[in-house]
């Protein structure tokens, strides 16, 4: 699993740099990892002398990792809370690391975002305005129309998740470095 963790660190590191610089995670970073990971898991298992049906199971487990790891990001993407690059990156990392490590790195990534996002908003002087907008967005659907507050699209704040995903991968890799 160590080579796949190293690949996950490299993929997430490249994605984090691009996300920080341009606000986008390119497809050429995420899609090859997403599509090659199941094949690589099959080949790695076969190279270790594992029977072909069990090696195929490793490849299938990689596909399951992509699917399971993409569930929460897909919901967030459909709500316009994260970008498509973040979704594809997390799915690719799930394919590389299988479901359990994929969910673990995703959890650490969201925990990093939970700490970094408010700090970044406070540094930019947008924390209280963002909290106010969040309250409006939360309660507007249940309030009568005359009591709803409009939230201007310009007042919405976008947060780059790529660096937090890299942190999640780094933490997961550090915790599992010595394991098989």
Buried b (16+ CB within 10 A) or exposed e, 6-23: ebbbebbbbbbebbeeee
Q: How far is CA 20 from the centre of its chain?
A: 15
Is position 127 within any domain? no
pLDDT at 3 over 80: yes
Mean pLDDT on 160-171: 95
Global confidence as pTM: 0.86
% the chain with pLDDT above 70: 96
CB 55 within 8 A of CB 45: yes
Among the listed residues 79, 105, 107, 108, the one whose alpha carbon sits nearest the alpha carbon of residue 92: 105
Query: Which of 17-26, 57-66, 94-103, 124-133 is predicted least confidently?
Result: 124-133
Place 102 in a pLDDT band, splitting at 50, 70 and 90: very high
Is position 74 within any domain? yes
Is position 116 within any domain? no
Q: What is the pLDDT of residue 133?
A: 77
Instruction: Map residue 151 onto helix, strand or coil.
Output: coil
- Dump pLDDT digits (tens) for 56-81: 989 999 999 999 999 999 998 998 88
Give how far Cα 1 sits from Cα of 6, 40, 77, 83, Å.
9, 11, 29, 28
Integer Cα distance of 114 and 110 in angstroms: 6
Q: What is the pLDDT of residue 154?
A: 57
- Dump pLDDT digits (tens) for 14-67: 999 999 999 899 999 999 999 999 999 999 999 988 888 888 989 999 999 999
Domain residue limits at 40: 2-110+161-176
Integer Cα distance of 155 and 143 in angstroms: 21
Is position 79 within any domain? yes
Q: What is the pLDDT of residue 137?
A: 76
Q: What is the pLDDT of residue 125?
A: 84
* Residues sharing a CB contact under 8 Å with residue 44, sequence separation 6 or more, in sequence order: 3, 4, 58
Is position 70 within any domain? yes
Among the listed residues 55, 63, 2, 57, the one whose alpha carbon sits nearest the alpha carbon of residue 38: 63
Is position 149 within any domain? no
pLDDT at 170 over 90: yes
Is position 65 within any domain? yes
Is position 14 within any domain? yes
The number of folded domains in the chain is 1
């Amino acid at each position: 699993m160590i080579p796949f963790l190293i690949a996950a660190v490299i993929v997430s590191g490249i994605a984090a740099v691009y996300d920080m610089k341009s606000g986008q995670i390119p497809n050429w970073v995420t899609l090859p990892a997403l599509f090659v990971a199941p094949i690589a898991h099959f080949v790695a298992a076969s190279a270790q002398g594992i029977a072909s049906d069990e090696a195929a199971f490793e490849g299938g487990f990689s596909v399951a990792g992509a699917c399971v790891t993409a569930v929460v990001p897909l919901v967030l993407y459909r709500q316009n809370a994260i970008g498509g690059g973040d979704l594809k990156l997390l799915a690719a990392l799930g394919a590389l690391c299988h479901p359990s490590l994929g969910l673990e790195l995703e959890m650490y990534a969201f925990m990093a975002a939970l700490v970094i996002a408010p700090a970044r908003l406070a540094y930019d002087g947008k924390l209280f305005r963002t909290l106010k907008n969040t309250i409006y967005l939360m309660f507007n659907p249940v309030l009568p129309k005359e009591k709803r507050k409009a939230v201007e699209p310009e007042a919405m704040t976008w947060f780059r998740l790529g660096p937090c995903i890299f942190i999640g991968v780094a933490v997961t890799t550090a915790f599992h470095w010595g394991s098989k």
